[in-house]
Amino acid sequence: MAEHPQTSLDEHSERAADEVVLATSRLEAFSDGVFAIAITLLVLDLVIGPGARGHLLRAMADLWPSYLAYATSFFMIGLVWMGHHVMVSISTGVDRRLMKINLALLFAVAFLPFPTRLLGEFITSSAAERVAAVFYGFWMLLISVILTAMWRYISNGHRLLPDDFRQARIDHIARYFQPNIGLYGFAIALAFILPRVAAALFLIIAVVGFIRVA
């Protein structure tokens, strides 16, 4: 009998750790800033050296791998931003665990310009194209997994959703994110064999996902 007060205290502490600690508006404002910075950094890799003055048009055309990587990552970040907005805007609040998941998502998005640069620079190199494509695909997959996990956490048992939020709507939103995981997995496997085809597939997945969420 003497253990019951301690047990009750521990349970109360655990519940308190998961209570709402932040307004959704603050989480969304901070996240929007990270998304904006990440999407801006992408364009910094589109650089033409001063030695290209005599053949500028050709130098611009030679940057096609960087254009491809830029467009793919732009649409991917746009997809994540819109999905994130939907999730947060219908949530009733933010608890500590959701904050941690959100930080993991922002970490992955903020790092995306690096694999984007690798893909743009090395997708035409026979010695490095596979590594660049696989690494890029893995990072896109990671972002998709975290985004899906975020929605599952919010919606599981209506943890952070209004009581009257219908299960059909929960399933409807989930369907917009889950297909990307399987598609990116397939594209990564393809990158080991046909990295340039996989790079094109990354773009298609990102654009289609963007259109679906939009």
- For residue 212, the Cα-to-chain-centroid distance in whole angstroms is 15
- What residues does 94 pair with on adjacent strands? 22
Scan for tokens 């253990």, then name that residue. 3
Predicted confidence at residue 107, as pLDDT, reads 98
pLDDT of 33 reads 97
What pLDDT, on a 0 to 100 scale, did the predictor assign at position 192?
96
Residue holding tokens 């035409």? 124
The pLDDT value given to residue 18: 57
- First vs last Cα of the chain: how many Å apart? 57
Region at 158 (left for phi over 0; alpha for psi -120 to 50; beta for the rest): left
pLDDT at residue number 11:
44
Give the predicted TM-score (pTM) of the model. Answer: 0.86
pLDDT of the residue at 138: 96
Amino acid letter, residue 190: L
- The residues spanned by each domain of the chain are 21-213
Query: Which single residue is written with the structure tokens 């090395």?
Result: 122
Task: Please state, in angstroms and rounded to a whole number, the distance separating the CA atoms of residues 85 and 25.
Answer: 10
Q: What is the pLDDT along the chain (214 residues), one digit of tens a residue?
A: 444 554 444 443 344 445 777 889 999 999 999 999 999 999 998 888 777 777 888 889 989 999 999 999 999 999 999 999 999 999 999 999 999 999 999 999 999 999 999 999 999 999 999 999 999 999 999 999 999 999 999 999 989 999 899 999 999 888 877 767 888 899 999 999 999 999 999 999 999 989 888 7
Whether 183 and 205 have beta carbons less than 8 Å apart is answered as yes
- Residue (of 138, 73, 78, 153) closest to 112 by Cα position: 73
pLDDT at 94: 93
- Whether residue 136 contacts residue 116, with contact meaning beta carbons closer than 8 Å, is answered with yes
